[in-house]
Structure 1
């Protein structure tokens, strides 16, 4: 029964994740949108660590070598609700977005290997901004509206296998695809027609990731975990068109296109550089774990005007530091449900690499998050519901930029079945 349920939900949710709007951040205006860091709700609740951590019934999106530890078929689906407050030096606005973050299926292959497949967002665009200009008498003279939607998704397959006691290797291959649309609408006072610039482009390309993990036993049942993953450099194609035209508005506010000023095709490539993640941790199995991650990536490069024109923004090297862990009071407790709950917490500090032009200088956009979460066991073997909460800040109000305060509520369902590939026998 659970097999049919899992496969049915997997198919139904695939169309949902492709059609959704994943972001409400003004910073998704730049490049191919807000980057989606592929982590499970469990990992996010621990600050995003994952390079070294192992589990036999939880998926790990950071290091494909972790698939070698899977001992139960695992279906994972995760989503989030984001409450966002945006402010500059004078005003503030609030918004929210709800989205599905991943659907994945993992299962063991023998006793020393595992495979997972799934679908995740790769980047997301979702913004709507309005800029108003006034004359010296405070009369409105110009209104400009910026809108964008879309993003890129990733279909992946990840494999991990033990090569030696405690030492596992992994590889992941993925296909990235999506469509992004941006528009700028400008209306000036006492001018009959408005002007609108639209651009739409498709993103396509492949991606490969390699990983390694090692676990060794210390004294007093302690375990030392180390790991690293490397997402290889790749080129994504960006193909689309750009047009500008004049328009008027009907009495109901509907846009009526008039004269087309230009309509041209634009092509380019996005070079996504090598990303490396290193981690280590220490803990006792099914009791507690504390680990850290350090991530590095060189500057994103592009010859496409869609992505970076070097005038409004540019990219530099990015980095992220994460620390977090979990604690389980007593995993096999009979008397107390809350003793079987997994308690998680973590911090992350990120330099996104995005540099936004303000007046005469570029200002770096940084991100910071505090995370806590719970893993709530279900009656079924190993299955659980995971809840995570994050408070974070991105950007700054300095140099006429925008600062975001956000609160994420994350929820995931992890269904496990140790009998996935076993045939039922009738004696």
Structure 2
């Protein structure tokens, strides 16, 4: 009965991923929003490594070949609380968001293969900024408000199989969809009407990923893991409308549109180039593991009128992650603390976003990201299920060139629920 109830809960909360506000970052204004890593909470707690990691009790979204090692029916649910402080040369502001990061299910298919499917956000838009300009006497001159919501989500399925004793390959297919709304509100002193810019777009497209993992037994119980995944080039279709109009407020406080300066269609494609992740790790099964991942991708391309002006453009991106875990004694009876998985990692990332606050097209600054991670895997009473806690402190952007620097602290939680008997029919219920 409890398992049936859990399945209903999982299906219900999965619908909230599509509609939630996942970010309060001003950098989510650009493109289709702030990119969200596909790593699980367990992987994120190790700096995001995972392309070479083989694990039979946890899901792996980085490399579809890892599904070949699934030996139990596994549910994964992950959420995040993000505490954000944004600052520039004149001041700072704080905010926070709570979001569901993924929901997924993995199934072993015999002794050599496995399949997983899930739903998780790909990008997120969630910002609200207010800029006020006063004269030398402190009197109001202009107020501009920037606000955006939405993002893109992917529905995916992945398959992995061991084709040789130490070699596994995998394939993943996904569908990306979402809605993004941006608007700019402007009010000036001495002007009776206000102006508003609205842009509403729909994002659609497919994704395909290939992966491979190789494990080699070394002496003294050591194992060498090598992995790679390649997300093939794909195009996201972006369609919608944008309009600029003037308005006033009624006595009830609602907008009363006046003159429409333009109302036109938005159409184009965002080309997502090949993304490659390679990694290597060494460790002792169920004891310790340390690994390093390197991810790289060419600059995004775009066609049509989805990117306007010279405020931003894209460049090649890369990410370097280093991390691992340690389990004192996984089968300890006398000490619960010895059965805890202790995780840690660090990552350095060039996001691929260039921003020009002057809108001149010749004063771009690269937006970089950096994070330090810690985490714990807390064993649950039954089966091999765990409650995973991840902590991350990081910084993104810079205050130079009139830009914004973000300092964030993320608290992540996930449940990895494992059982060999989820889909076995009981004779007596």
| Deviation for aligned residue 1:9 | 2.1
Provide the rounded CA distance (Å) in 2 between the counterparts of 1:140 and 1:242. 29
Partner of 1:352: 351
Provide the rounded CA distance (Å) in 2 between the counterparts of 1:185 and 1:304. 25
The within-5 A match list for 1:99-178 is: 99-178=99-178
In structure 2, which of residues 372, 395, 407 is the aligned counterpart of residue 393 of structure 1?
Answer: 395
Report the 3-state secondary structure (helix = DSSP H, G, I; strand = E; otherwise coil) of the residue aligned with 2:409: strand
Provide the rounded CA distance (Å) in 2 between the counterparts of 1:54 and 1:4. 29
Provide the rounded CA distance (Å) in 1 between the counterparts of 2:76 and 2:191. 54
* Range with greater deviation from structure 2 (86-95 or 137-146): 137-146
Report the 3-state secondary structure (helix = DSSP H, G, I; strand = E; otherwise coil) of the residue aligned with 1:154: strand
The within-5 A match list for 1:311-326 is: 311-326=310-325
The within-5 A match list for 1:208-219 is: 208-219=208-219
**Per-residue CA shift, 1:203-253, capped at 9, x if unaligned?**
000000000000010010000000000000001100100111111123454
Cα 1:2–1:210 change in 2 (3 A) is farther
**Per-residue CA shift, 1:326-355, capped at 9, x if unaligned?**
000000000110100000000000000100
Are 1:46 and 2:41 counterparts?
no
Provide the rounded CA distance (Å) in 2 between the counterparts of 1:421 and 1:149. 39
Partner of 2:260: 260
Provide the rounded CA distance (Å) in 2 between the counterparts of 1:425 and 1:131. 66
| Deviation for aligned residue 1:139 | 2.2
Provide the rounded CA distance (Å) in 1 between the counterparts of 2:8 and 2:357. 49
Provide the rounded CA distance (Å) in 2 between the counterparts of 1:2 and 1:302. 48
In structure 2, which of residues 376, 379, 387 is the aligned counterpart of residue 377 of structure 1?
Answer: 379
Are 1:413 and 2:415 counterparts?
yes
Gaps of 5+ in 1: none
Are 1:402 and 2:404 counterparts?
yes
Provide the rounded CA distance (Å) in 2 between the counterparts of 1:3 and 1:209. 32
**Per-residue CA shift, 1:176-220, capped at 9, x if unaligned?**
000000001110001111010101010000000000000010010
Number of residue-to-residue matches in the alignment: 425
Partner of 1:96: 96
The within-5 A match list for 1:49-88 is: 49-88=49-88
Provide the rounded CA distance (Å) in 1 between the counterparts of 2:101 and 2:41. 9
| Deviation for aligned residue 1:257 | 1.9
Partner of 1:367: 369
Provide the rounded CA distance (Å) in 2 between the counterparts of 1:17 and 1:266. 25
Please give the TM-score of this superposition, normalised by the length of structure 1. Answer: 0.97
| Deviation for aligned residue 1:13 | 1.2
Provide the rounded CA distance (Å) in 1 between the counterparts of 2:337 and 2:229. 34
Provide the rounded CA distance (Å) in 2 between the counterparts of 1:361 and 1:16. 39
Are 1:233 and 2:233 counterparts?
yes
How big is the alpha-carbon RMSD for the aligned residues of Structure 1 and Structure 2? 1.2
Partner of 1:330: 329
Please give the TM-score of this superposition, normalised by the length of structure 2. Answer: 0.97
| Deviation for aligned residue 1:136 | 3.6
Provide the rounded CA distance (Å) in 2 between the counterparts of 1:333 and 1:310. 61
Provide the rounded CA distance (Å) in 2 between the counterparts of 1:232 and 1:194. 46
| Deviation for aligned residue 1:309 | 3.1
Gaps of 5+ in 2: none
